[in-house]
Amino acid sequence: MAARARFPFDERRRRLLEIGLAAFSSRPYDEVSMDQLAAAAGVSKGLLYHYFPTKRDFYREVLVAAVEDMRRLTEPDPALPPPEQLRMGLTAFLDYARDHAAGFSALLRGGIGSDPEIARVVADFRRAVLERVLRALGVVGPGPELQLALRAWLGFAEAAALVWVEEGGVDRDLVGRLIARALHAALREVAVPMPVEDWY
Amino acid sequence: MAARARFPFDERRRRLLEIGLAAFSSRPYDEVSMDQLAAAAGVSKGLLYHYFPTKRDFYREVLVAAVEDMRRLTEPDPALPPPEQLRMGLTAFLDYARDHAAGFSALLRGGIGSDPEIARVVADFRRAVLERVLRALGVVGPGPELQLALRAWLGFAEAAALVWVEEGGVDRDLVGRLIARALHAALREVAVPMPVEDWY
DNA sequence: CCATCTGTTGACCGCTGGTCAATAAGGATG
DNA sequence: CATCCTTATTGACCAGCGGTCAACAGATGG
């Protein structure tokens, strides 16, 4: 065998997560085996378990890293006026979905979403996105109706992005406008004063 | 052991699917083993494989049955005027989500959605729902923009229903109105003439 | 009462997720 | 340069998993 290559912890971990993302993006969870992953990383299976306690934890960490990546790349500039923040945030969101199609589809579509720990990662991400929106709106204590409306709107945005990425054939900015309009409609229905009409 | 109980094919199959729905609704896919399922059904594992070729197929059939059930229970009366069809369809949809919370969450949230065969079942269901809407609208050859808008709207409706079921605390008819309004907004953005304003 | 069909079983297999004691690379210390 | 200690890394190992299969037994019809 090749000589033992000893890597610093963080670097090795990062490499393993990259390989995990590639694997879990292209095949369903249960069709990816730890042996395969280890082989793809040129490493023994035991090492995988040295870095991640279980397969599920590994998957979760892959998801966390991907979501963190997305959150970072779509972060709006707080110095901009709110309408511009929304516009740029949506554009960045759609661009990210387009450029990371496989991972975006596989992971956000819920690779194994019925697991509570996994679902929580996605739920946390969604909450973070909605907090951005609430901050831009200047709302502090959103009631249950507003929370539901915003969460539903996020479902709209995610579905729009998924279809746009998978089917194609639609202008990106049209999709962005569509999503912004949906936000307006959702907010109006729960009586949140916001002149989003001219926001996009 | 108990004497061999011989059942007619269809009945046994139906029972197995019921048990599968209960199992897959309460635990993630990979935490449900065929041995457990067989034991829960009071049956040998071999029999499970006599009815369904693989675990994945079994899961798919469970999903198909659940989706079929939902489709049947939310079917609108075509004799009603379209606005009323929408109203009743949404009400039935939300009621179904509430009354079948576990299955609705687990299965539509995508138990193992990254598998193409499984994803297709959900995709087919969504297409069927959208065809109802298109029929009610009188649209025959929807362009890509309209398809995307409607698909995004369905994401809105699904997310709204999920949150409503899981969090509670919001009036059902408010959720229904919210979803109807979102449909209006989505359609207006892609320039589909439809006076949905007074539809709900 | 036999023959056929088929719902049903239990033993079996390769592989999977997960464990663990043993090992060796490399920096620190003298 | 030898030593030591830490820890990244391995490979053998295990119970349980998804899946297979030959054999069995309850109906059904002649």
Segment A121-157, tens digit of pLDDT:
999 999 999 999 999 888 888 899 999 999 999 999 9
* Long-range contact set of residues B68-76: C-beta below 8 Å, sequence gap at least 24: B70/B96, B70/B100, B70/B104, B70/B125, B71/B125, B71/B128, B71/B129, B76/B132, B76/B136
- Give the span between the Cα atoms of B106 and B175, in whole angstroms: 21
CB proximity B189 to A under 8 Å: yes
Q: Across residues B86-108, what is the average pLDDT?
A: 90
Nearest to B126 by CA among B147, B102, B154: B154
pLDDT at A193: 56
Tokens describing residue B136? 């009610």
Output the pLDDT for position B1.
45
Q: What tens digit of pLDDT does each residue of B174-198 get? A: 999 999 999 988 998 876 655 544 5
Mean predicted lDDT score pLDDT of chain A: 90
Q: pLDDT tens digit string along A34-47?
A: 999 999 999 999 99
The more confident residue out of B168 and A17 is A17
Please work out, in degrees rounded to the nearest 5, the angle formed at the alpha carbon of residue A82 by the alpha carbons of A78 and A83.
135
| B132-157: average pLDDT | 92
| Owner of token pair 């969090």 | B167
> CA B200, CA B189: separation in Å to the nearest integer?
19
**With an 8 Å Cβ cutoff, are A185 and B190 in contact?**
no
Please answer whether residues A140 and B135 qualify as being in contact, where contact means their C-beta atoms are separated by less than 8 angstroms: no
The reply to whether residue A110 touches residue B113, judged by beta carbons under 8 angstroms, is yes
Q: Tell me how far apart the alpha carbons of residues A188 and A167 are, in angstroms, rounded to a whole number.
A: 30
Q: What percent of chain A has pLDDT over 90?
A: 72
Residues 6+ apart with CB under 8 A from A75: none
Contact A189 B178 (CB under 8 A): yes
Q: What pLDDT is recorded for position A3? A: 58
User: Does the C-beta of B29 come within 7 A of strand D?
Assistant: no
**Which residue reads 């916001």 in tokens?**
A194
**Distance (Å) from the C-alpha of residue B89 to the closest C-alpha of chain A?**
18
* Strand D contact at CB of residue A53, distance < 7 A: no
Tell me what the mean pLDDT of segment A10-15 comes to: 96
For residue A110, pLDDT beyond 80: no
pLDDT tens track for A111-120: 677 889 999 9
Minimum distance, in Å, between the CA of residue B182 and any CA atom of chain A: 6
Chain A contact for B153 (CB, 8 A cutoff): yes
Q: What is the pLDDT of residue B199?
A: 53
Instruction: Tell me the two tokens of residue B92.
Output: 């039935």
What pLDDT is attached to residue A1?
45
- pLDDT in the model for residue A189: 81
Predicted confidence (pLDDT) at residue A16 exceeds the cutoff of 60? yes
Query: What's the Å distance between residue B46 CA and nucleotide C11 C1'?
Result: 11
CA B164/CA A115 separation, integer angstroms: 20
Non-local (6+) Cβ contacts of B132 within 8 A are B76, B85, B89
Give me the sign of the Cα torsion angle B166, B76, A189, A150.
positive
**How confident is the prediction for chain B on average, in pLDDT?**
90
A10 interfaces chain B, CB cutoff of 8 Å: no
Q: Which A residues 133-152 touch B at CB under 8 Å? A: 144-145, 147-149, 151-152
Residues from chain A that touch B20, judged by Cβ atoms under 8 A, are: none
Q: Would you state the pLDDT for residue A196?
A: 47
User: What span, in angstroms and rounded, lies between the C-alpha atoms of B47 and B53?
Assistant: 10
Q: What is the pLDDT of residues A176-197, one digit of tens each?
A: 999 999 998 899 887 665 554 4
* Cα-based torsion angle of the residue sequence A164, B122, B22, A32 in order, rounded to the nearest 10 degrees: -60
pLDDT tens digits along B11-57: 999 999 999 999 999 999 999 999 999 999 999 999 999 999 999 99
Are B63 and B107 a contacting pair, CB within 8 Å? yes
Phi/psi class of residue A4: alpha, beta or left (left: φ > 0; alpha: ψ in -120 to 50)?
A: beta
Mutate to test the interface with A, among B60, B178, B188 (most CBs of A within 10 A): B178
Q: How far is CA A173 from CA A87, A91, A95, A142, A177, in A?
A: 9, 8, 11, 29, 6
**Amino acid A138: pLDDT:** 87
Distance from CA of B93 to the nearest CA of A (A): 15
